[in-house]
Chain A
Amino acid sequence: MRSFHRGFRSFHRNYTRNLILVVLLFVCLTFSMSMLAVKLAADSQVETIKATVGNYGEIKVSSEYQMEQFEAEREKSQAERQAEARSMTEAQTFVNRVENLVPEELTDEFSQDEYIKTYDKVLESMVTVPGITNTSLQQMFSMRQGDEGPGSGGLGGTSNANMFSFNGNTNGASASDFSTGAKKLVSGAFFTYEDYQEANPVVLIEKNLAAENELKVGDTIEAQISGASGADSTIELKIVGIYETVEAEGQSQEGGTGGQAFNPAGSSFYAPTSVVQKLNATPGYLSLGSYYFDSVDDTAALKATFKAETKGTDGKYTFATDLSDYQSIADPVIKARNTSMIGLAGALGACALIILLAMFIIVGGRTRELGILKAIGSTNRQVIGQFAVEVLCICLVAIILAMGVTALIGQSMGNWLLPDTGASTSQQTQQSGPGGPGVMRAMSGEGLYKQGSRFNFGAQTQQQEAAKLNVVYRGTLFLYGVLILIGISLVGMAIPVLWITRLRPARVLSME
């Protein structure tokens, strides 16, 4: 306690010398603490980004395979194709139908991986609903017919104005459009996992479409099974819920009177995957298996598992993840974090060097005082204690000031370290752009099912927000500050400890 008092008194008495040291340490510590604050903010931001993006993947038919199929089909003449169609057996027709789909077996097996958190089976199909007209398609047909002239044959024999996109999921609420908020249930309820398991013929319908056809929850519609004919060629679907398209409405409002360039409202139904499989006549096949896993860090392990599980399929299937999205969003933040860590290490090194040199000079200049203290009966521990308090006081004042200034400049440092991502963000946004339902783009290899809806309209804002560093004062920073204080003080104490224990007062006191 007496050593503490003597140390504190000595710190107070040697204020000029200590002030210089405090200022030097303050500068370095401010830089260190700012770098630390940026690092912590970046860590937190990366975790936030990880929670949003990078942890999604889907198993689907690879775009390369699809392209190969397309090229092979294109090389055939019209006559060859017609002959092939005529001679096709039922089994061959089925194989042809599921050519661009993924076996459910494969997606089920993959879902057993320890990293997988959620699993959804997605199937989208164009299904004919005889009693309801798809106004979007009808308009498109009229435009095409106008362009091509009378008798041109329209879009071909398989398309008609009663066709609608049927999105199949294991659970209505888990459909990408609903989970991302692009669409919202306004009445009724989502179909459930039980509906999927038992293949209950239920469906969700769009609000405007329901209104146009005077349909409400509880009513039924009839949907045509693909390729079937006769008495059992349709399934009666009960409407369990009505949804509205949130993003399309939002866009319409923003765009004013001329808005709504493309509104998918009205053309999509949502039903259990098992029901869509029946309607598409492709039992056991999916458009894609959709997975959320723990973290982007699991991507490599999951890809390895997928590779092992699809060995022998000749690259037909792919496990696509949103890793590149994660990278494009998180990279600037990670770069800022890495830079801040280098800055932190450098600044802490400078702090250590300053305190070591300063203590070397200070203790060297006070050798006589040390000799006197030992000559009049101070123990090494007492003298070291006194110096420890002095060093601690110096470091404490410096770090308190540094923490205060860090609170003021931390955000500026974060902004300074964060690379400018404006250009790449807008470029990416243009690429992802507004588009149709996610599954269509995902199937065509343009993007991911999740990505198609999640990064449609709000993508730019989301990415800009993700690429910001919110450097706030957090408890961890204070704790690290305390650790730095202890560390620097210990480093600073090294010289006095060595000096004091080795000092022989007789030698010192003999010197003039």
Chain B
Amino acid sequence: MREQILEVDDVSKTFQVKAGDVTAVDRVSFTADAGEVTTIVGPSGSGKTTLLYVIGSLEKPDSGTIEVAGHNILAPSADLIDYRRESVGFVFQFFNLIPTLTALENVMLPMDILGTSPEEQRTRATGLLERMGIDGRLLKARPNKMSGGENQRVAIARALANDPDVILADEPTGNLDTATGQTVIAILSALAKENGKCILMVTHDESILNVSDRAFHMTDGRLSEITVRQTRPGDGARLGG
């Protein structure tokens, strides 16, 4: 039996704009398990990213509860800084690597913020980049010297730096060509299967549904589960270590 790691219950988020209130997330409830890839698909502006940011504590919901590994992150006593550091890892469409840092330094950064010793940072970051298939010669390369696929793999390594329970991926293939996108999806899928991570992806690319264990469709802030016919995990997604 799979362990339920994420539970979102009746979460709503409304933005106030000039034209009036816009409900980006409307009473959304779902769960996600460790070792599974959960995908939320939907058109642009449907509220997918907002939901992801609410789960990642980058946005505060108006109502509802979110439990990650049994902890209510919206409780007044919750330490959201620690939560962001240790429990979740983000993968963004535009990679969001720090341009002045090398691939290795970008992966070391979350560990540095957490207070990990420099030696351990280096060892773990090198290992993660190796698992992501980043050539050793690229360790000292800056993001502008790497391809989109390489950047996204560095971003995934960074998301894994502090060994979080949940990886939140926002359109991880949105800025990549099809082949590279498939490789990235395969990596994320392998992370779920081999490392027991809970992968929550939001995308408008419905082809990703093929590798998902669970899938939801989001329209106008509302979530509805859809049945997926899972194919085997993506080619070339075998992770080392």
The answer on A and B forming one complex is yes
A2, A14, A369, A506: the one contacting B59 at CB < 8 Å is A506
Bound-state Cα–Cα, A4 to B152, Å: 28
- Give the residues from 475 to 512 in chain A that come closer than 8 angstroms, CB to CB, to chain B: 504-506, 509-510, 512
Known interface pairs A505-B58, A506-B53, A509-B92; A376-B100 also in contact (CB < 8 Å) = no
Q: Within 8 Å of chain A (Cβ to Cβ): is B112?
A: yes
Q: Which of A2, A382, A506, A509 contacts B96 (CB 8 A)?
A: A509
0/1 per residue, A367-379, Cβ < 8 Å to B?
0110111011111
Given A14-B100, A368-B96: A376 touches B58 (CB 8 Å cut-off) = no
Residue A160 lies at the interface, judged by CB distance under 8 Å to chain B? no
Contact with B98, one of A369, A379, A505, A509 (Cβ below 8 angstroms): A369
Chain B residues with Cβ below 8 Å from A368 are: 96
Interface residue? A6 (CB, 8 A): yes
Give the docked Cα–Cα distance between A375 and B100 (Å): 18
Q: Does A311 contact B (CB under 8 A)?
A: no
CB-CB < 8 A to B114: which residues of A? 377
B27 on the A face (CB < 8 A): no
Do B100 and A377 touch across chains, with their CB atoms under 8 A apart? no
CB distance from A10 to the nearest CB of B (A): 6
The A-contacting residues of B in range 99-126, CB under 8 angstroms, are 99-101, 109-110, 112-115
Q: B58, A509: Cβ atoms under 8 Å?
A: yes
Closest A-chain residue to B162, C-beta based?
A377
Q: How far is the CA of A506 from the CA of B96 in the complex (A)?
A: 12
Interface string of B63-88 (1 = CB under 8 A from A): 00000000000000000011011100
Taking the closest CB of chain A, its distance from the CB of B104, in whole angstroms, is 13
Say yes or no: B98 contacts A372, CB within 8 Å.
yes
Q: Does residue A76 face the partner (Cβ distance < 8 Å to B)?
A: no
A173 CB to nearest chain B CB (Å): 75
**A22, chain B: closest CB distance, angstroms:** 17
The answer to whether the Cβ of A13 comes within 8 Å of any Cβ in the partner chain is yes
A377 touches B59 (CB 8 A): no
Contact A376 B53 (CB under 8 A): no
- Looking at chain A's contact residues, the main secondary structure is helix
Interface size on B, residues (CB 8 A): 27
- Kindly list chain B residues whose C-beta atoms are within 8 Å of the C-beta of A13: 100-101
CA distance A509 to B86 in the complex (A): 19
Flag if B90 contacts A375 (CB, 8 Å).
yes
Contact yes or no, B58 A377, CB < 8 A? no
B94 neighbours in A (Cβ, 8 Å) = 512
B56 an interface residue at 8 Å Cβ cutoff?
yes
A501 CB to closest chain B CB (Å) equals: 14
Q: Which of B25-66 contact A (CB under 8 A)?
A: 49-50, 53, 56, 58-59
Report Cα–Cα, A376/B49, bound state, in Å: 17
A332-375 contacts to B, CB under 8 A, are 368-369, 371-373, 375
Residue of A nearest to B52 (CB): A506
Interface string of A291-322 (1 = CB under 8 A from B): 00000000000000000000000000000000
A368-B96, A369-B98, A506-B59 known; A377 vs B85 contact (CB < 8 Å): yes
Q: Are B96 and A377 in contact (CB under 8 A)?
A: no
Closest 9 CB pairs of A and B: A377-B85, A506-B58, A13-B100, A377-B84, A506-B53, A376-B110, A506-B59, A372-B96, A505-B58
* Chain A interface residues toward B at CB < 8 A: 2, 6, 10, 13-14, 368-369, 371-373, 375-379, 382, 504-506, 509-510, 512
* Pairs across A and B, CB under 8 Å, 9 listed: A6-B112, A371-B96, A372-B96, A375-B56, A376-B109, A376-B113, A376-B158, A506-B59, A512-B94
